[in-house]
Structure 1
């Protein structure tokens, strides 16, 4: 019994071992596996292990991991101008974000009314206990805290699809 041969892509060429492919259907074609972080046995996948190593998981003795692109966007490794460096296999980002005062630019909440007029002596006004009296104006100049510090998703619009990795095919040369 021979090994499964991956199906050729639309150009009719055999894929490279370890090549990724995005598909619009809900399964990995024959000779491909879903990029869901599953562990593979090194003994049965030596060529693929020689390319991926333990960049995506595994113990490096009996198993290695496939890339896990569930809920993630792949980005190029390296460092672009003005960007932080990204290593091969490095995971980053957060599922949710929580803003704090330290994340916000300096700002003030300036009231638009210089003061609030209240009725004369003997009248009740907002913030005055029962039986109290206020006359004149009350300066406006403070705000109260708001929010509860809950995290929120910060994703651009997205569409869930399946990433697959070729388990077999042409072993890629470096030059």
Structure 2
């Protein structure tokens, strides 16, 4: 492997930062002890800029290139965006249906407790849900197929592995263009 550049970020598959590297976990760094890295990062990721600066924070986040492209939102270095959870509204979900499958339990002694696989507890007495036509001839209770979610947010995270982003504290200083 070639010599790393100061400020270079690499992904490692172990839970510690190599020698002269630091985990990208948003920690504050003293400027006096890391002047070369501060000259590259500044306060892009935080810090007060007089006594400390902050390293990038990839805990629960993903790397994203800066700039823009056709149909993409412009991004700048140090920007964070997105959310850990999302609550979908009904107008954000595609139109779809859920069918109810009902099976008759032919053995009356088993019409209690937990039904066997592919069997219901009992057939409703006042309707005939089992027909050979597609014509609706009965209405099931509203709870048969209900609304799910209840306005509660769900997790909105990309798939991930246990990899750690680390930044080089001391390496070859990159030449400026």
Q: Which residue of 1 aligns with 2:53?
A: 64
CA gap of 1:156–1:28, structure 2 versus 1, over 3 A, is same
CA-based RMSD of the aligned residues comes to: 2.6
Give the 5 Å matches for 1:14-163. Answer: 14-105=3-94, 107=95, 145-163=147-165
Residue 32 of structure 2 aligns to a residue whose secondary structure is helix
Point out 4+ residue stretches in structure 1 off by more than 6 angstroms: 137-140
Displacement of 1:170: 1.1
Residue 37 of structure 1 aligns to a residue whose secondary structure is coil
Q: Distance in 2 between matches of 1:77 and 1:86?
A: 5
Q: Distance in 1 between matches of 2:146 and 2:168?
A: 57
- Structure 2: any 5+ residue segments left out of the alignment? 100-124, 128-136
Calculate the TM-score normalised by the size of structure 1.
0.70
Between the two structures, name the one with larger relative contact order (CA 8 Å, sep ≥ 6).
2
